[in-house]
Chains A and B, each alone.
Chain A
Amino acid sequence: KQEVTQIPAALSVPEGENLVLNCSFTDSAIYNLQWFRQDPGKGLTSLLLIQSSQREQTSGRLNASLDKSSGRSTLYIAASQPGDSATYLCAVKGGTDKLIFGTGTRLQVFP
């Protein structure tokens, strides 16, 4: 059974710092991995999708890497801003339709 873990569970940093959020999964037989952002009580915004054959994806200040063999992905946020404050979720897709989510990293960036 696939299990997805995210570390740290919470993170509070001053504006301008570069951040690394970690995601690990137990079954390396994944199809793809998505990173999402969720604001309190709101929907999920897809940030990046990495296919199993890819090593990384970049979008603006965000860079996500994938090491499938070791069951790890990292989300790198450069020059963090207060508007980045949210919960960040990673989710893996195996051979079925469903995404299996981690429990998230709650990020707070203060001015």
Chain B
Amino acid sequence: AAGVIQSPRHLIKEKRETATLKCYPIPRHDTVYWYQQGPGQDPQFLISFYEKMQSDKGSIPDRFSAQQFSDYHSELNMSSLELGDSALYFCASSFGRGGGEQFFGPGTRLTVL
């Protein structure tokens, strides 16, 4: 079965650079979620989109922005990167916003030097 696809899988950036993470949800899933997992921590919710509209917002820095496109894929844009942004970034998708099961991608490991 098709799973959530994230690219790139690994990314190394310098401080103050920008990064773009991409997420391709499971076919027919209309809701996308972004989570950040720091070293030794549990995943923290950043932002979600339903039918291309932002539906919920968590602890996402103002330096970060995201959107969902007409084909339901999503991109997380991160600017003015800081050392503390180094983490594993997960995208998840579900069908609908209600009690749907969230399926997670393999993650993008971002390292900021």
Contacts and interface: CB of A to CB of B under 8 A. Distances in A.
Nearest to B39: A41
Interface stretch (A14-22, A61-69, A73-81, A100-108): A100-108
Nearest to A49: B101
Interface string B67-95: 00000000000000000000010101000
Greatest chain A CB density within 10 A among B42, B55, B58, B97 is at B42
A31 B98 contact: yes
Contacts of A41: 88, 109
A34 B102 contact: yes
B24 interface: no
A42 B43 CA distance: 12
B90 A98 contact: no
Given A97-B56, A98-B45, A103-B42, A32 B33 contact: no
Given A46-B101, A51-B99, A102-B42, A97 B106 contact: no
A44 interface: yes
Given A41-B88, A44-B104, A99-B45, A93 B58 contact: no
Contacts of B104: 36, 43-46
Greatest chain A CB density within 10 A among B97, B101, B102 is at B102
Given A93-B99, A99-B45, A101-B42, A43 B56 contact: no
Contacts of B99: 31-32, 49, 51-52, 93
